Chain A
Amino acid sequence: MAEWRKYYPNEDDEVEEDEEDSGGDYKISGRDSLVFLVDASKEMFIKGEDGEPSNFDMTMQCVRSVYTSKIISSDKDLVALVFYGTEQSKNPRNSFKHVYVYHDLDSPGSQRLLDIEKLLGEKGAQFAEKTMGSGETSLGDALWCCSNLYSDIKLRLSHKRLMIFTCRDDPHRGDGAKDRQARTKAADLKETGVVIDLMHLTKPGGFDVSLFFCDIVSPPEDESELGLQIEPSRKLEDLQKRVRAKELKKRSQSRLTFSLGEGVNLAVGVYVLARTATKPSAVKLHRDTNEPVRTKTRYFHAHNGGILLPNDMKRAQVYGKKQIVMEKDEVDKIKKFDDPGLVLMGFKPMDRLKLHHHIRPALFIYPEEEQISGSSCMFTALLLQCSENNLFALCRYIPRRNTPPRFVALVPQREELDQSQSQATPPGFHVIFLPFADDIRTVDAHVGPTASDEQVDKMKEIVHKLRFKYKSDAFENPVLQQHYRNLEALALNMLEPEPIEDLTMPKVQMMNARLGPLAQEFKDLAYPPDYNPEGRPAAKRKTAESGGGAAEKKPKVEMSEEELKNHVAKCTLGKLTVPVLKDAYACKQFGIRSTGTKKQELIDALTMHLSK
């Protein structure tokens, strides 16, 4: 079974290898920050028709989902929640009236999540009324207060964003002085690098952005961007999508040169649009204080106990009786073929791209005008012509220094918008990794009888009954969800974790109901009456075991040194089983670790000792 386990390499190993990918330029640039500035006026609490949640409730649900996603995906980011238009005031120096800082800028944790939950639903509205109330509005003061929050932060912030949630398009009811002050303060904020977004909510009679807010929000990233969403967010889903699209700063994994040929180079950013989210690794804590503990790894000489510096060590591999030694940097250099970058090999029609040639999740590239000017134009021309002619570009890709090359297909994707005019698919090329010959296994196909038309038609009915519309974000990872629910329960001292809904489980009841008699009808067509597809060959194994085989099968085979040497000479050690090899170890007392050692390592070590 060993081979199968390779199917699932230790997750840890993979993480280690990918570490560099995920970081992007995060470490250099500092932390992201996000301030939710939420209108707490009476209007926000008005419930929608048909028991739809109020704008305030919708906003709070949205804030909560951002908090949880931050906890899971980027726990270093800072988030703040500030209300304006409140009766009560609460801010660092209490210098602003009607501004209530519910959370100042900090990384979200379990307590903050609990705080948000207090504001949810019917009870939440009552709680908000009690603690904050609704009063006068001065957006200028609120913005000023937020700018103080930013300046109080001593950490380096890379990305500063402020989102205003409101359903009032004219918050000061024509008070020109207040409007002016708000505009000035907004301008000040923008000058310090804060991006201001408006998440406007439904208002009877429509939300008119041009009345006031068009002067408050930041201009779009570039002149051609769609800019303000004209339609307000009606549904929580819409709102969450809009917030999510803005909330994460897109960060390129790397910036590379894309060479079309000698002297024709453009710059592209490489983005990860999908990567397997894994459980974060555990932290070691001191038992008594729960303080995090750091680990230090040291190498020292076994005989004289001296600390070994990197220069005092080399790398080695053993093949049979031969040990091959290299310097650490030689081991790295072996992997170097060329400098990082994308190099165009040529073009191929899309039908040459095989669906089943998948070895790694794809990446995405978009031009980097700031690195090489003219990149965007060149890139757009390539994108248009490839997409027009239904072609992909084949490139050689070296992601970073001392990394061996892989070939990739650049598959063009043009921008598409959804009904609400937001971007459904961004413009750029998908970078699809192509397999080498080594990555393709030889599978001997099973050839069997094929189905008759009648059988196929019956199956079509079954397929038809169980149709659904697949969406890539429809399934949550139950393993991760359970993990975070467990942590949440422990962090918040809950008796037991909230149950998760495992969306990966088939809804058997519903499927059976939808199929009705179809399943039986198909079985009657395809299977003979006495056939039981559940009958596994496992039965055979059972009888073998019940015969006491397991106990008898394992007679202690102890190898004499002579025999072992024989094996070494003939290079047939590999034929022995691991327990035998381990026994050989134990009795010979070669003093080599035999636990957790791979078979090849056992063989190598044994060969070394016996051929001395």
Chain B
Amino acid sequence: MARSKEPLVLCMDVGFSMSNSEPGQEPSFEQAKKVIQKFVQRQVFAENKDEVGLVLFGTDGTKNGLAKDGQYENITVHRHLMMPDFELLEEIESELQPGGQQADWLDALVVCMDLLQKETMGKKFERLNIVLLTDLNVQTSADQLDVIIDSLKKAGITLQFFLPFPVDGEDRADGGGDGPGPSAAPARPGKGLSRQQTQGLEMVKNIMTSLEEEDSLEEVYTFSDALQKLSIFKRIDRRPMAWPCQLTIGSSLTIRIVGYKAVTEEKVKKSWAIVEAQSHQRDDVKRETVYCLDDDNETEVQKDDTIQGFRYGSDIVPFSKVDEDQMKYKSDGKCFSVLGFTKQELVRCSPFMGSQVVKVFAPRDDEHAAVALSALIRALDSLKMAAIVRYAYDRRSNPQVGAAFPCIKEKYECLLYVQLPFMEDLRQFTFPVLENNKKFTPSASQLSAVDALIDSMMLVEKDEDGESVDVFKVNHFPNPQFQRLFQCLHHRGVNPDDPLPPVEPWLKRDLERPQAVSARCQTALQDVKTKFPLKVVVKKKEQKTSADVFGSRGAFLTGIFRSSGICSSKVKNRPPAHVELKTSCLQHALLFSDALTLISKDEVDGSTFSKQDANQVLIAYSLQVLRSSFEIFLF
């Protein structure tokens, strides 16, 4: 099943005004370039198949399909719709330069629309996107605006704007829960804009409000937003696959449903291949797995001569793959069957399992199913109950037991499915009492110190309207692991011989406490520090190493190990039980070492064994004895 694509055109202003900057600030051009770089980097390394085009305006030259009779000049189609690749990244890095001209951003928008329309002709796609990065600092002719808006609508094109300043100074800074995070640079308010920019901004608002009914201005970002919260590009991410099924209650009540994976831990998709260090060729490395008996000779066994078995306590039961398949639990296909209903609070106490949350809707074209599901959702919601269901994705997958919670939002209703534990998954641990334990009971002054700390470290603040605003929305942060990986891949790809770059500062910042909170909590933190004595306990017993086992003669023995060709780490890496078992064997060794120590104590303290040439003969002799005795237990 081929997935429909979401082609996207990046349209960047490279005109001369983009190179201007206020003192201490990066020019808009550099910021916009970084946004594009980050975005393409993500697309390339996430191996996103959506095609990307790149249109520049304000370029010295002109290269586009509409240019004629002096119209649409200084607009260059740098790259047609193509899958983003490493070359594009390299091009952006080396070829994307500021231009010396200015061009009308509305003209550029028309070029992008033309490009999208021509190059997606006859192809399937889900939606078309244009991302416009500009400082709006150019004279535009607004006379075509209505026509443009109209054709954007007709073609189903969505727009995103990235500007150097916020669209609405005051509103953007603190309004809307989805605003920028705390670490975003302070937004420059609307003043200080040129006449063109003010006019341009009005047009942007005009376009965005005409395209979408509400929240339209949420698709207008600042460059600094974009750099820090690349997640806003999510809009063009892939949609999860639909899972059609039927919700059953007993055998007579069935409701058609469709499930979507709504939340799941996104993992790094691509794995690392092994290549030969010199040639960097994958084919130069061959991997071979051999089977051998656990005997002294490690007798090799052919793969065909092995069978499969499973541990059953102390026994190993031979159990062939064929038998296993035949005898294993068989599930009768996909299902979403209600086992019963229970109080939500009972389910909330239970740990949630699995790694996903599934949203369950009625199919789009089935209003009867929608009504039936709505009845269930609303009934559960008003009774504060949840459905316990058996969920099986398909015939091959293991069944789960999970809970379906009702979820009623302003715009839609659905069930949220989460997996619950099986009895085998639970571990009942009992922990010693904390609260009524005299040793650990905090005093009133300690408690108030903690209270003060909590107050100073609240991540939810009240805004002017008394609405509380979350200033640290983790679910708006991109996973730093991906950002870091992509950064390193990009860097190594461009500079194969350089060491890896340090973590980007903004990425590090995202992982730190918001600065405002950090500053606010200092006093309270100091108070806590003085009121709670916290002391690192000096360890008496670290993990046993050879040095512990051998006592003060450790260094000496390590020397012997080394000289006798037995790596001392071999001893360290053995499980202690193993080492301990062999202590008796060591006793013999220690006798020798004692004898030796007597002879050359001073040299031993220097721990370099080679110094002891005076006793070479004796040592050579004892080494041999030691070696044989060690080999017995090490191999």
**B263/A313 in contact, CB under 8 A:** no
The answer for the CA separation of A287 and B354 in the assembled complex, in Å, is 37
The answer for the CA separation of A226 and B351 in the assembled complex, in Å, is 26
Taking the nearest CB of chain B, how far is it from the CB of A407, in angstroms?
4
Taking the nearest CB of chain A, how far is it from the CB of B460, in angstroms?
5
The answer for the CA separation of A357 and B263 in the assembled complex, in Å, is 7
B478's nearest neighbour on chain A, judged by CB, is: A437
Taking the nearest CB of chain B, how far is it from the CB of A245, in angstroms?
5
Taking the nearest CB of chain B, how far is it from the CB of A424, in angstroms?
9
B630 close to chain A: CB less than 8 A: no
**B393/A7 in contact, CB under 8 A:** yes
B319 close to chain A: CB less than 8 A: yes
**B474/A466 in contact, CB under 8 A:** no
A551 close to chain B: CB less than 8 A: no
**A348/B277 in contact, CB under 8 A:** no
Of B110-118, B207-215, B411-419, which binds chain A? B411-419
**A477/B422 in contact, CB under 8 A:** yes
Interface centre among A241, A371, A404 (most CB of B within 10 A): A404
A378 close to chain B: CB less than 8 A: yes
Interface centre among A222, A225, A302 (most CB of B within 10 A): A302
**B263/A470 in contact, CB under 8 A:** no
5 residue pairs bridging A and B, Cβ less than 8 Å apart:
A337-B503, A348-B470, A380-B435, A445-B412, A470-B342
B105 close to chain A: CB less than 8 A: no
B340 close to chain A: CB less than 8 A: yes
The answer for the CA separation of A490 and B323 in the assembled complex, in Å, is 11
Known: A274-B425, A450-B413. A345 touches B476 (CB 8 A): no
Interface size class of A (residues with CB under 8 A): 35 or more
**B301/A286 in contact, CB under 8 A:** yes
Known: A282-B310, A322-B493, A466-B341. A428 touches B475 (CB 8 A): no
* Interface residue from A317, A375, A439, A527 paired with B265 (Cβ < 8 Å): A439
Known: A298-B288, A355-B416. A374 touches B535 (CB 8 A): yes
Known: A319-B45, A324-B492. A473 touches B385 (CB 8 A): no
**A108/B340 in contact, CB under 8 A:** no
The answer for the CA separation of A27 and B472 in the assembled complex, in Å, is 40
Chain A residue numbers with a CB within 8 Å of B454 are 347, 385-386, 389, 391
B570 close to chain A: CB less than 8 A: no
**B434/A468 in contact, CB under 8 A:** no
Interfacial residues of chain A within 288-331, with CB under 8 A of chain B in the complex: 288, 290-303, 308, 311-326, 330-331
**B262/A441 in contact, CB under 8 A:** yes
Chain A residue numbers with a CB within 8 Å of B27 are none
B185 close to chain A: CB less than 8 A: no
The answer for the CA separation of A481 and B503 in the assembled complex, in Å, is 47
Taking the nearest CB of chain B, how far is it from the CB of A572, in angstroms?
7
Known: A312-B277, A438-B482, A466-B340. A294 touches B294 (CB 8 A): yes
**A316/B275 in contact, CB under 8 A:** yes
Chain A residue numbers with a CB within 8 Å of B533 are 373-374
**B368/A437 in contact, CB under 8 A:** no
B145 close to chain A: CB less than 8 A: no
| Chain B 319-348 interface 0/1 with A at a Cβ cutoff of 8 Å (1 = within) | 100001001110000000111111100111
**B275/A325 in contact, CB under 8 A:** yes
Chain B residue numbers with a CB within 8 Å of A364 are 429
**B272/A317 in contact, CB under 8 A:** yes
**B310/A527 in contact, CB under 8 A:** no
The answer for the CA separation of A449 and B370 in the assembled complex, in Å, is 6
A344 close to chain B: CB less than 8 A: yes
B195 close to chain A: CB less than 8 A: no
Known: A260-B525, A348-B470. A319 touches B370 (CB 8 A): no
**B513/A346 in contact, CB under 8 A:** yes
**B285/A445 in contact, CB under 8 A:** no
**A260/B453 in contact, CB under 8 A:** yes
Taking the nearest CB of chain B, how far is it from the CB of A204, in angstroms?
30
B614 close to chain A: CB less than 8 A: no
Interface centre among A27, A345, A423 (most CB of B within 10 A): A345
B4 close to chain A: CB less than 8 A: no
**B309/A472 in contact, CB under 8 A:** no
Of A132-140, A185-193, A206-214, A503-511, which binds chain B? A503-511
Known: A447-B412, A526-B371. A273 touches B529 (CB 8 A): no
Known: A264-B532, A264-B534, A345-B513. A450 touches B286 (CB 8 A): no
**A472/B421 in contact, CB under 8 A:** yes
**B270/A459 in contact, CB under 8 A:** no
Taking the nearest CB of chain A, how far is it from the CB of B46, in angstroms?
9
* Interface residue from A250, A287, A460 paired with B431 (Cβ < 8 Å): A250
**B475/A357 in contact, CB under 8 A:** yes
The answer for the CA separation of A245 and B431 in the assembled complex, in Å, is 10
Chain B residue numbers with a CB within 8 Å of A338 are 511
| Chain B 104-138 interface 0/1 with A at a Cβ cutoff of 8 Å (1 = within) | 00000000000000000000000000000000000
Q: What is the total number of residues of chain B having a CB less than 8 Å from a CB of chain A? A: 218
**B294/A512 in contact, CB under 8 A:** no
* Interface residue from B253, B287, B397, B577 paired with A156 (Cβ < 8 Å): B577
Taking the nearest CB of chain A, how far is it from the CB of B85, in angstroms?
4
Known: A301-B284, A312-B277, A469-B346. A451 touches B372 (CB 8 A): yes
Of A34-42, A85-93, A514-522, which binds chain B? A514-522
B307 close to chain A: CB less than 8 A: yes
| Chain B 465-478 interface 0/1 with A at a Cβ cutoff of 8 Å (1 = within) | 00010101011111
**A221/B432 in contact, CB under 8 A:** yes
**B405/A519 in contact, CB under 8 A:** no
Chain B residue numbers with a CB within 8 Å of A341 are none
Chain A residue numbers with a CB within 8 Å of B324 are 486
**B390/A491 in contact, CB under 8 A:** no
| Chain B 401-430 interface 0/1 with A at a Cβ cutoff of 8 Å (1 = within) | 101010101011110101011111111111
Chain B residue numbers with a CB within 8 Å of A381 are 442, 446-447, 449-450, 532
B315's nearest neighbour on chain A, judged by CB, is: A109
**A283/B424 in contact, CB under 8 A:** no
B292 close to chain A: CB less than 8 A: yes
**B285/A299 in contact, CB under 8 A:** yes
**A437/B234 in contact, CB under 8 A:** yes
**B263/A439 in contact, CB under 8 A:** yes
Chain B residue numbers with a CB within 8 Å of A3 are 3, 238, 240-241
Chain B residue numbers with a CB within 8 Å of A298 are 287-290
Of B63-71, B150-158, B376-384, which binds chain A? B376-384
The answer for the CA separation of A73 and B425 in the assembled complex, in Å, is 10
The answer for the CA separation of A481 and B327 in the assembled complex, in Å, is 12
Chain A residue numbers with a CB within 8 Å of B413 are 450
Known: A381-B442, A443-B262, A463-B380. A527 touches B368 (CB 8 A): yes
A586 close to chain B: CB less than 8 A: no
Interfacial residues of chain B within 241-258, with CB under 8 A of chain A in the complex: 241, 243-244, 246, 248-256, 258
**A472/B532 in contact, CB under 8 A:** no
Chain A residue numbers with a CB within 8 Å of B613 are none
Chain B residue numbers with a CB within 8 Å of A439 are 263-266, 475, 479
**B535/A372 in contact, CB under 8 A:** yes
Taking the nearest CB of chain B, how far is it from the CB of A582, in angstroms?
17
The answer for the CA separation of A391 and B453 in the assembled complex, in Å, is 13
**A459/B434 in contact, CB under 8 A:** no
Interfacial residues of chain A within 105-134, with CB under 8 A of chain B in the complex: 106-113
The answer for the CA separation of A225 and B436 in the assembled complex, in Å, is 9
Which 4 residue pairs spanning A and B have beta carbons closest together?
A: A448-B370, A437-B231, A451-B375, A445-B412
Chain A residue numbers with a CB within 8 Å of B426 are 273-274, 472-473
**A443/B260 in contact, CB under 8 A:** yes
B439 close to chain A: CB less than 8 A: yes
Chain A residue numbers with a CB within 8 Å of B341 are 463, 466-468
B361 close to chain A: CB less than 8 A: yes
Interface centre among A265, A308, A389 (most CB of B within 10 A): A308
* Interface residue from A245, A320, A448 paired with B428 (Cβ < 8 Å): A245
Interfacial residues of chain B within 575-617, with CB under 8 A of chain A in the complex: 575-577, 580-581
Taking the nearest CB of chain B, how far is it from the CB of A531, in angstroms?
5
